[in-house]
């Protein structure tokens, strides 16, 4: 699968409280959540995000709370993929479970870089700088969850054991 979009860049330790502040967790409606996505770290996020854009961040992206509202808000806001140097573990599993593509990549990016991610080939190309990166595929076990379209489908289909 090929994902293309412009980079929206953030630093290390982007926590789930700034991705979706708890004051908005009195709903489980993805659209309502997306309306406040990244509000406490980047109030302009919603104004600038375009469908397909890619969040590019540093270490430990998604640390903090277990709230699945965080990847849900990001996905519903139109982000096609999150690229980070590393992910906090609960955010990582939530993204896999709900089908939000995430990639661990050591590259440094700038706002507006034109990124192209080939999930099957395991490559990321920065069209603005011409740089390319290779990222390792997910373990086969997780690949099955991703291919099934999320955890509930994988469990129902007996895809993982």
93 lies in the binding site for another protein (CB under 8 A): yes
CA angle 93, 97, 99 (to 5 degrees): 115
Q: According to CB under 8 A, which one of 55, 67, 84, 117 is a site residue for another protein?
A: 67
Q: According to CB under 8 A, which one of 98, 104, 114, 125 is a site residue for another protein?
A: 98
Closest by CA to 105, choosing from 63, 134, 71, is 134
Q: According to CB under 8 A, which one of 9, 114, 119, 142 is a site residue for another protein?
A: 142
Q: According to CB under 8 A, which one of 1, 22, 44, 106 is a site residue for another protein?
A: 22
For another protein, the closer of residues 115 and 146 by Cβ is 146
Rounded CA gap, 40 and 114, in Å? 25
136 lies in the binding site for another protein (CB under 8 A): no
Q: What three-state secondary structure class fits 133?
A: strand
Rounded CA gap, 104 and 139, in Å? 13
């Amino acid at each position: 699968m090929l994902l293309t979009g412009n980079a929206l860049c953030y630093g290390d330790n982007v926590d789930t409280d700034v991705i979706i502040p708890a004051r908005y967790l009195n709903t489980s409606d993805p659209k309502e959540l997306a309306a406040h996505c990244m509000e406490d770290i980047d109030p302009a996020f919603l104004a600038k995000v375009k469908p397909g854009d890619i969040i590019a961040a540093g270490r430990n992206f998604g640390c903090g709370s277990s709230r699945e509202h965080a990847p849900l808000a990001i996905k519903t806001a139109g982000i096609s993929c999150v690229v980070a140097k590393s992910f906090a573990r609960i955010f990582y599993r939530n993204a896999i479970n709900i089908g939000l593509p995430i990639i661990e990549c050591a590259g440094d990016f700038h706002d507006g870089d034109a990124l192209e991610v080939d999930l099957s080939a395991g490559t990321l190309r920065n069209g603005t700088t011409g740089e390319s990166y290779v990222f390792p595929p997910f373990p086969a076990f997780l690949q099955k969850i991703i291919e099934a379209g999320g955890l509930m489908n994988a469990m129902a289909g007996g895809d993982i054991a």
